[in-house]
Amino acid sequence: MRGMVRETRLAPEQLVLPLFACPGEGVARAIGSMPGVYQHSVDRLVEAAAAAWAAGVRGVMLFGLPERKDAVGSAAWDDDGIVQQALRALGREVPGLVRIADLCFCEYTDHGHCGVLTPIASAAPIAPGVPIAPGIDVEVDNDATLANLARQAVSLAKAGADVIAPSDMMDGRIGAVRAALDAAGKAAVPILSYAVKYASGFYGPFREAAESAPAFGDRRGYQLDPANGREAMREAALDVEEGADLLMVKPALPYLDVLAALRRRWDLPLAAYHVSGEYAMLKAAAERGWLDYDRVLMESLIAIRRAGADLIVTYGAVDAARLLAGGWRE
């Protein structure tokens, strides 16, 4: 009877699995802070995606670890870059799988920030290969970063991305990316905006996985203050006006109130990112026998759905899909 009257339901096709592509062949490098998650070479990434598809997961989100990094993250728009290779391989080997490409530079820059840096005392961006002199204060150059994001988006779309997902939090990025995709003949490629991305302590394990920790400073200058809810609504409104097709809240569980507020205001599809730290906490507690991993994972995902998410990006996507396929009941 509980099942018959259940208000919120979860299905495998509502889950998206993040995957990390790295150079090499036959590589499946375990990430210490995220049990069960790996950096994969393209061949092994295809195997992981195929297993997810077999479990019922219908989407993956791709992040790249390039062979080279520089001040502007130029490897991100290399048409033979690591994510571009993965997109093409997945298109060949796992047809039907929705390929979502993360759009950002933190994995590609040698300083780990999400865009071009400019010395505060100068208007000139820091050029590729030019080191930042000690003692120079820098800031992310929002407008210079937009041009590079547009280049990256077009390259990813041409490589086969079904969805482009800007996660950089630069102002005006959705409009810039939409215009670039349209001009490149990719008007049908939708944009999943990380519209509400908080400056969160829950990202720690991801920075190990993506090798993207900032070399100095932090990202609070362009990510949202965890204390602010109304600001999140303004950020989302700007992205909707600029042409976002889907909106996302990141992290998920600490910001369910924000997710619910977005659901009440907009009819666009909503996603939530059940981030690395949220996943790692469940795994760590379960390893110590403090929690039942399966139960708390499913409870967490149901809570995210109940708050209004249509899609959930989660490292537990395959685990949850297999539980659902096995007839999971709380």
Identified catalytic residue from 69, 158, 186, 197: 197
Spacing of C-alpha 273 from chain mean position = 7
Residue with tokens 């939090």: 169
Question: ∠ CA(232), CA(182), CA(248), 5° rounding?
Answer: 25
φ, ψ of residue 273 to 5 degrees: the values are -105, 110
φ, ψ of residue 64 to 5 degrees: the values are -120, 145
CA–CA distance, 308 with 246 (Å, rounded to integer):
13
Residue 134: partners with Cβ closer than 8 Å, 6 or more residues away = none
- Active-site annotation holds for 197: yes
DSSP structure string for 176-242: HHHHHHHHTT-TTS-BEEEEEEB--GGGHHHHHHHT---SSS-STTTSB-TT-SHHHHHHHHHHHHH
Identified catalytic residue from 69, 158, 186, 250: 250
Query: Are the beta carbons of 313 and 290 closer than 8 angstroms?
Result: no
CA–CA distance, 52 with 290 (Å, rounded to integer):
28
CA–CA distance, 144 with 248 (Å, rounded to integer):
24
> Mind telling me the catalytic residues?
197, 250
